[in-house]
Amino acid sequence: MGKKQLVRELKRAALERIENAARTESDFNVVIKQWDNLDENRERRERGHEIKRNEETIRLGYTDGMILPIPFLHPTWRGIINGDFLDLIYDNAEEMWQLVEDADISMLIKALTAKQKEVLFLSAVRGCSPQQIACYKEQTDRAIRKLLVAALIHTRDNLVPIILEQINNNSPNMTCEKKQFIEGHKKTALDNAKRE
């Protein structure tokens, strides 16, 4: 038997003797104190093996499958089984820009503030309403809508010159969606000019 195991056995036997000999309230308090001390030591050792997650990610419902496992029939599992695991890797607000196919839009999303990214992620990827996001963030839905609009305006305003440059250069990156976006932007600009 090893030395550590002998020490553990002796401590266990000593605690058992103290438990058996306890007759008064003060004796039982000594036993309770010993058990509390053992529990604290066990919890301290176990804490080193726990997955560290901050309160924010738990409150937002992010899951990496370690604490709350993904149901087996969930589309995420089907994708992983088929080898398509990139969606799971980039399933968070900070890495959301990796999911966007267009490089220009991807860089614009990457340049957003952390709060704007989080609200845009919860709205666009998770499909949450401003009211739901407001509950998660413990803010008003008006503040959430303001953040969301600021993120969209920032992205749109910085995207217009990029697309116009692509049109002038006859870039192969020019798509029908980008042309429709520019036409809609011009129409909105004309409507705003008429109002003023």
CATH of domain 90-162: 1.10.10.10
Domain range annotation of the chain: 90-162
CB 104 within 8 A of CB 159: yes
Tens-of-pLDDT digits for all 196 residues of the chain? 678 888 888 888 888 888 888 888 998 898 889 888 888 888 887 776 655 555 555 455 444 444 455 566 666 677 777 777 666 676 777 777 877 777 888 888 888 888 888 888 888 877 888 888 888 888 888 888 999 999 988 888 888 888 888 777 877 767 777 778 888 877 877 777 777 6
Q: What is the pLDDT of residue 65?
A: 47
Which residue from 68, 105, 107, 100 is spatially nearest to 86, judged by alpha carbons?
Answer: 100
pTM flag (> 0.85):
no
pLDDT digits (tens, 9 = 90+) for 146-171: 999 999 888 888 888 888 887 778 77
